[in-house]
Structure 1
């Protein structure tokens, strides 16, 4: 399934340290050669100060060669640099860790900086030592220490660009240490900074903590930042307990949906997967927590986006929704679901949700199938769900008993059939629907009449006029 792997597409939008987990995953699933994955890991590691890791990768790639002297030289340089930066940062820490200083600091950063300068002779250059040391610790893999120093720097710094850079660095550090609650808070803070800052903050380039090259157009820069944020947020949203619902809330908002459609349509895979996973199932119905209307209607909204962006991106997950909710082709949906199962199992972000994905997808198939049929053969529906007959029968019976489908469906075990009996629509509801339709037709007719004396009608208006007549 290498053709559906998105690693090579996503990696350019990640910091090199965030890329290591993806490459480790590729080494496990064996869809690419071990040599290629090791070469990629080594090329990334060379750009960091993780000397021991780089040397071990070199030895694995060249078992018969002696490690070059450059590894030892780089190791000694890293040690000396670390000692120097630590001494510079300690000067600031000795001051701000003083309880009297901590009590004197206020919300106003400029006031705090002036206080530290007047009383302890600390300037902005001294404060930047915290950033430099945090950045260096990040470069050799001490992510927990990097997060601490970058946090202290951000609290004191008045440098807007370095503050944004420290946001990116701390988010990466929290992700790599698996602190998902903290990472979610950092993600929300960074998103707020990106959405509110003018001119927009610049997205990270090679590293989350490297200097950034500004772009000319602030709107384009903001788009780049949001694109990077969308990719980084996948780590948080697919690890935090409420992450899938939060992903739908964020990615379906107009701002970020526009970002996905413009810059990274492949993120539709994760949007579609999150919508499917969030579908209520028999196992989740009893203990489910209240969700917003956007999450409830996520599948419907995602299908509309997939329809619009199908020319840019398509894979078995998005095609499953298309075949099920647009084409109503259950055989094609069955085939796409079979492919989607493998795609989910091989995807770095989705692999842990394989069982949830399949159960929710089968619920969607069952609901759609029951919506357009009155008599359903349980064995045939089991085939549509890619389940063995006996297992499928048990699953379908459980679904009907545990969900709202049981209100309209009755099971005939002797004939192995499901009978769907939908109650007639109330008369007042029929009147409301017809009145709403009449109002829409009246508006279209009024628009067509208003344009009668104007230049020739457009194709759309002509179609509307023909429909009304």
Structure 2
């Protein structure tokens, strides 16, 4: 399944520390040469301050070689720098952890800074020490410590650039610490910052790995949202309500446009979340997310597709059940190997089979159970149990009956009479026609008034009489025809 692996596409949009778990996962699948993966892991790790981890990767790559001396000097430098930064940060911590100071702090950051400067002689540079120490903690793998110091920094700092960088760093720290609720809260705050800011929105550490920062507001937001989409996958596929939040965010116009423009491969996770969320949907938007996703999949099929997106396309656009069955089998293998989706295989397959059954029953009145079981990639006995549970637990039970003598399902759904359908479709036609006529007449009258306004100027009394006559004529028309809806009038 190396063909559908997205690791190489996603790593340029991830921090080094976030990329390491993806490489570790891929190395367990044996879909790429082991030595190449070890070299990639080593190249990522050696540029961090995780000296011991880098040494272990070097020894795996070169078991017969001695460890370079540079690691020893780097270790001593890391220890020295850590002690220095810790002392600088401890000065601020000793102040803000004082109960009296904590009670005196307010929501207004400027007021807090003035208070700390006047009462405790804390300067901006000393407060920035929290940021530098948190960042250093992150570089050598102490993610929980990094999250703590960056949190204190964000509470006090008013520097917009450092605050944005600290938000990215705290999000990464929460992700790598496995604190998913805190990570989701931080993700929401970061999204607000991206949508409301016009400066460079990607992490400062990304300059050598990802896309360059841009001066244009639109391009800067596009970059920030692209990074956001990739980082958010860690949260959305680990938080209990993450799939619903993913659909809400990814289907919003700004982020959907980002997916279509910068990273169409994210459609895999959007499509998977739409399928997985069928049973647990809490809003109409989530319940009907599959329809929106199918529309996007159809538009973007020319630049990205995989078995998951092809499954939706074959089922809901082409109505090719044999092809959908084949793609579902391929999607099962893909999900087993995907870093983010591997824990959702059973949920995906169960909901995908429901969609197949629903679509198949919608266009057939008699269905052979054995044939439907084969289309669901189930054995005959498993298919019978699954179909019985489906009919019992869903709204199909009112229309579907099982004929055990012929081993078929009979769909007896009453169809509305043709004349009733015609009445329903044409019920509002007369009203809409009248409303459109009134709107056109009002627009014509408005244009006539505008043309007349630039000509001869009539006396005030004449203008008043003319306005009264116009109002009287409009009132008579409103008595005859209902007023047009606002949407029609604007159009």
* Structures share fold, TM-score greater than 0.5: yes
Contact 1:168 1:208 in 2 (8 A): no
Counterparts of 1:46-445 in structure 2 under 5 Å? 46-197=46-197, 199-207=198-206, 214-280=213-279, 288=280, 291-425=282-416, 430-435=421-426
Mapped partners of 1:395, 1:211: distance in 2: 47
Contact 2:175 2:234 in 1 (8 A): yes
Contact 1:137 1:146 in 2 (8 A): yes
Residue 106 to residue 385, structure 1, CA distance change in 2 (3 Å): same
Contact 2:199 2:215 in 1 (8 A): no
Runs of 5+ consecutive residues of structure 1 not aligned to the other structure: 281-287, 447-469
Mapped partners of 2:161, 2:354: distance in 1: 48
Mapped partners of 2:8, 2:394: distance in 1: 41
Residue 213 to residue 365, structure 1, CA distance change in 2 (3 Å): closer
Contact 1:164 1:201 in 2 (8 A): no
Match of 2:214, SS state, is coil
Contact 2:12 2:210 in 1 (8 A): no
Contact 1:251 1:271 in 2 (8 A): yes
Give the equivalent residue in structure 2 for 1:17: 17
Mapped partners of 2:71, 2:415: distance in 1: 78
Match of 2:32, SS state, is coil
Mapped partners of 2:181, 2:6: distance in 1: 26
Larger radius of gyration: 2
Mean Cα displacement is larger for which, 315-324 or 214-223?
214-223
Cα displacement (A) at 1:99: 1.3
Residue 395 to residue 416, structure 1, CA distance change in 2 (3 Å): same
Match of 1:376, SS state, is strand
Match of 1:47, SS state, is coil
Alignment coverage as a number of residue pairs: 437
Mapped partners of 2:302, 2:208: distance in 1: 36
Runs of 5+ consecutive residues of structure 2 not aligned to the other structure: 438-491
Mapped partners of 1:211, 1:276: distance in 2: 31
Cα displacement (A) at 1:431: 4.2
Mapped partners of 2:46, 2:294: distance in 1: 43
- Alignment deviations for residues 302-354 of structure 1 (CA, whole Å, 9 cap, x no partner): 00011111111111100000000000000111111111111111110000001
Residue 441 to residue 385, structure 1, CA distance change in 2 (3 Å): farther
Match of 1:411, SS state, is strand
Match of 1:158, SS state, is coil
Contact 1:138 1:173 in 2 (8 A): yes
Cα displacement (A) at 1:229: 0.5
- Alignment deviations for residues 420-461 of structure 1 (CA, whole Å, 9 cap, x no partner): 011232789624542179689989x99xxxxxxxxxxxxxxx
Cα displacement (A) at 1:20: 1.1
Mapped partners of 2:28, 2:409: distance in 1: 43
Please give the TM-score of this superposition, normalised by the length of structure 2.
Answer: 0.85
Contact 1:15 1:208 in 2 (8 A): no
Mapped partners of 1:97, 1:103: distance in 2: 10
Give the equivalent residue in structure 1 for 2:37: 37
- Alignment deviations for residues 391-425 of structure 1 (CA, whole Å, 9 cap, x no partner): 11211111111111111100011211000011232
Give the equivalent residue in structure 2 for 1:285: none
Match of 1:327, SS state, is coil
Mapped partners of 2:399, 2:35: distance in 1: 57
Mapped partners of 2:317, 2:182: distance in 1: 40
Residue 167 to residue 438, structure 1, CA distance change in 2 (3 Å): same
Contact 1:202 1:213 in 2 (8 A): no
Mean Cα displacement is larger for which, 238-247 or 212-221?
212-221
Mapped partners of 2:68, 2:189: distance in 1: 43
Match of 1:418, SS state, is strand
Mapped partners of 2:211, 2:123: distance in 1: 23
Contact 2:13 2:210 in 1 (8 A): no
Give the equivalent residue in structure 2 for 1:283: none
